Structure 1
Amino acid sequence: MKNKTVAAWLAFVGGPLGLHRFYLHGKGDLLGWLLPVPTALGLYGLERVQQNGLDDLWSWVLIPLLGFTMAGCALNAIVYGLMTPEKWNARFNPSASKDAAPGRTNWFTIGVISLALLVGTTALMSSLVFSFQRYFEYQIEEAHKISQ
């Protein structure tokens, strides 16, 4: 029996590592194995910023991958948390009754929905702002080089 609250928490906390995918679909899930790739690339972008500073060209390309992955996993947590018990059990617990306990919402589910909304929105907006700012600053620097 797959529990909706556990899946939502796994998507929120361990989503960038694919933990929720492994919980719901097993160890053979391809997307679960691919999720750590953009997470690792984003973390590498953060490391490049610490080593090379904010002017590093690759950092503003790589860092948003981490933010977008975190935001996508937070969105998964919200979708799982808001799924009706009937739909949850039909999809992930087909042998159970429509209103079985693993598909029900409780206060821990509401908590993960709230946290996922807060953190996911922050990660998404921060990634967009960082990448657009660095992109436009790079364009201005290149325009200055051309004009001189």
Structure 2
Amino acid sequence: MSRTLTTSSVTARTKHKTVATWLAFLGGALGLHRFYLYGMGDWMGWLLPIPTALGVYGIERVQQLGQDDQLSWLLIPMLGFTLAGCALRAILYGLMDKTRWNQRFNPELPADAPAGSTHWGTIMGIGLSLMLGATVLMASIAYSFQHYFEYQVEEARKISQ
């Protein structure tokens, strides 16, 4: 009976690469992948929602105050960079070698355990993370630079008058 309990307790703690990839892609901005891999005591997991919430607040400010709100220019890219970073993390999880995955996240399992295997679900998560992450990153950079240069032009006009 103790052997059955030990086996079920090991499976309860097993961390699957496909699950971690999808959690980083879909819920990474809320720290879900960090909580899955490191537990609820992970401080990075608790910090991830802060830039996400600030970015959402920036979007709300733009909707209420218009695009001339300078604080929103700083807040909105925080959301974009957080989403892009989590997409990158999903890609890194998905591309990690099975042996390295199991050594890092499942040290009690053998190095070739199936928890670190790459499946079609993992590949789909990697592909979607690459597409969304690159799009969000480029949009965040473009948004930041556009508003920065508009601000610089407006300040130069004020000086020249």
TM class, shorter-chain normalised? over 0.9
**Partner of 1:44 in structure 2?**
57
**Partner of 1:144 in structure 2?**
157
**Partner of 2:87 in structure 1?**
74
Q: CA deviation at 1:126?
A: 0.3
Q: CA RMSD in A?
A: 0.5
Which of 92, 109, 119 in structure 1 is aligned with 2:132? 119
Structure-1 separation of matches of 2:136 and 2:115: 29
Alignment of 1:121-136 (within 5 A): 121-136=134-149
Structure-2 separation of matches of 1:70 and 1:54: 22
Structure-2 separation of matches of 1:98 and 1:68: 34
Give the partner amino acid of 1:118: M
**Partner of 1:83 in structure 2?**
96
Q: CA deviation at 1:119?
A: 0.2
Which of 46, 69, 74 in structure 2 is aligned with 1:33? 46
**Partner of 1:18 in structure 2?**
31
Q: Is 1:8–2:14 an aligned residue pair? A: no
**Partner of 2:5 in structure 1?**
none
Q: Which runs of 5+ in 1 are unaligned?
A: none
Structure-2 separation of matches of 1:52 and 1:138: 17
Q: CA deviation at 1:146?
A: 1.2
Give the partner amino acid of 1:87: R
Q: CA deviation at 1:114?
A: 0.2
TM-score between both structures, scaled by the size of structure 2: 0.91
Q: Which runs of 5+ in 2 are unaligned?
A: 1-13
Q: CA deviation at 1:82?
A: 0.2
Q: Is 1:95–2:142 an aligned residue pair? A: no
- SS of the equivalent of 1:58 reads helix
- SS of the equivalent of 1:46 reads helix
TM-score between both structures, scaled by the size of structure 1: 0.99
Structure-2 separation of matches of 1:99 and 1:114: 24
Structure-2 separation of matches of 1:74 and 1:99: 26
**Partner of 1:59 in structure 2?**
72
Structure-1 separation of matches of 2:117 and 2:109: 12
Structure-1 separation of matches of 2:76 and 2:112: 42
The one-character-per-residue Cα deviations of 1:97-141 (angstroms, maximum 9, x if unpaired) are 111011000000000000000000001000000000000000101
Q: CA deviation at 1:147?
A: 1.1
Structure-1 separation of matches of 2:141 and 2:46: 25
Moved over 4 A (4+): none
